[in-house]
Amino acid sequence: MTTKPAVLVTGGGGYIGSHAVLALMDAGWPVVVIDNLVTGFRFAVPDGVPFVEGDIEDQPLVEQILRQHGIGAIMHFAGSVVVPESVDNPLKYYHNNSAKTRSLIESAVRCGVPHFIFSSTAATYGIPETSPVREDCPQRPINPYGMSKLMSEIMLKDVA
């Protein structure tokens, strides 16, 4: 029997991240969570799941986690998600969603993590030309939130 590699879930104290953790556990995957708890909650991480309170831009910390737990995949849910706030404070969104993701990608590459799953948003499409929106529709974000997520998608494509 082959042992499954561990999955690092960023933002695992948030709603979507914590549900991803539960689904991974139900499927038999070992899981590790990192969350800075700015908007997430420690109680959302199931008992028994290794939890690190920290930030994904802390590369020494992230790389220690990747190596210590033999991480084979990252599911990246950490970030800021409020569209009106992104319009009022775009630099916060470019930092939290783009710059921190760049740091995480760099750590993943440096540690040889072969799989990276990124939780993006339909906001990368802006006002879509068709409905339903398909992944091959033009991406024209109309707010900093959507643009910050698109920038992360582009970085991931470039290093894939």
Instruction: Give DSSP secondary structure letters for 22-85.
Output: HHHHHTT--EEEEE--SS--GGGSPTTS-EEE--TT-HHHHHHHHHHTTEEEEEE--S---HHH
Catalytic residue flag (residue 15):
no
Query: Which residue in this structure is represented by tokens 């995957």?
Result: 29
The b-or-e profile of 72-95 (16+ CB within 10 A means b, else e) is bbbbbbbbbbeeeebeeeeeebbe
Q: How far apart are CA 140 and CA 69, in angstroms?
A: 38
Token pair listed for 21: 């953790």
* Catalytic hit among 93, 94, 125, 145: 145
* Owner of token pair 């916060």: 92
Active site residues: 145
